[in-house]
Amino acid sequence: MAQASVITAAPAHPVIQDKSLSALVFFEVLAIFVFGPLASIHDASRHIFVFNSCFIVLAGIFAISRHARLAKTLIGLGLVLIPLQPISLYLGEMWLTSAYILLFVAFLGLLSWIILNHVFRRSRINLHCILGAIAVYLHIGLVFALLDTLLVLHVGDTAYVFAEALEAEHVRLLSRMIYFSFTTLTSVGYGDITPVFPLARSLANLEGLCGQLFPAILLARLVSMEIETRHAD
């Protein structure tokens, strides 16, 4: 009985806000599957893509605003990222874009850790758990897209072989690498972008491994949560 009470106990003050988590997933889906692809061909979509990414940061901040220990760190990163993102991507300065990429990777990594740590402590599988898992999966693809972009900026077009000419504009480059990242994460690999630099190949292999392991580990965890809940009932 004591074990059952521990399993079914719910936190008095939720660390993750459900509405903000839904908004986070919504803006990320728009960035990855709508405005990201269109940013490479339409200027209007390029601007929307940049500001949509700012909404991703805001939604992430609001989602964990009640996390006592790590909220301040995430908010601090977010307050730097929101103005830095349009400035760095529009100006096209390599050092600014590199700083933005590294900060955004840190932001997504910390946000993912908070979401996973909280969501998988819940006793029941619900929409909240599913949205949290989707958000973290999307974060994996975005983090690798950012790292791929950083690699191209510093190594040049020798990092990857592109079927089409590579754009110098940073927003369009990021759009291209988001496409490559998610085809790698899902093990599709159409072959129109091929990593040739050793570090680029390592990133692609690591992302492909994450794309295989994360769903398997996630499924195992969700099943164990359901079994624990049924035993508690």
Q: What is the crossing angle of helices 127-155 and 18-30, to 10°?
A: 40
Give 81-137 pLDDT, tens digit per residue: 999 988 887 887 889 999 999 999 999 999 999 888 877 776 567 777 888 889 999
Q: Which of 149, 182, 183 is nearest to 166 (CA)?
A: 149
pLDDT at 42: 82
User: Containing H/E element for 195?
Assistant: strand 193-195
pLDDT at 233: 63
- For residue 12, give the 3-state DSSP assignment: coil
pLDDT at 65: 74
Q: Which of 122, 116, 162, 121 is nearest to 139 (CA)?
A: 116
Angstrom CA distances, 84 to 51, 58, 80, 97, 103, stand at: 11, 14, 6, 8, 10
What is the Cα–Cα distance from 54 to 167, expressed in whole angstroms?
A: 23
Lowest mean pLDDT among 4-13, 68-77, 137-146, 172-181: 4-13
Domain residue extents for the chain: 2-232
- Given a cut of 70, whether residue 5 has pLDDT beyond it is no
Average pLDDT in the chain:
85
What is the Cα–Cα distance from 213 to 59, expressed in whole angstroms?
A: 27
pLDDT at 46: 87
Confidence category of residue 1, pLDDT binned at 50, 70, 90: very low
Q: What is the mean pLDDT of residues 36-45?
A: 86
Q: Residue 201 burial by CB count (10 A; 0-12/13-18/19+): exposed, middle or buried? A: middle
The whole-angstrom distance between residue 73's C-alpha and the CA centroid of its chain comes to 18
Global pTM reads: 0.88
- Given a cut of 70, whether residue 14 has pLDDT beyond it is no
- Given a cut of 50, whether residue 9 has pLDDT beyond it is no
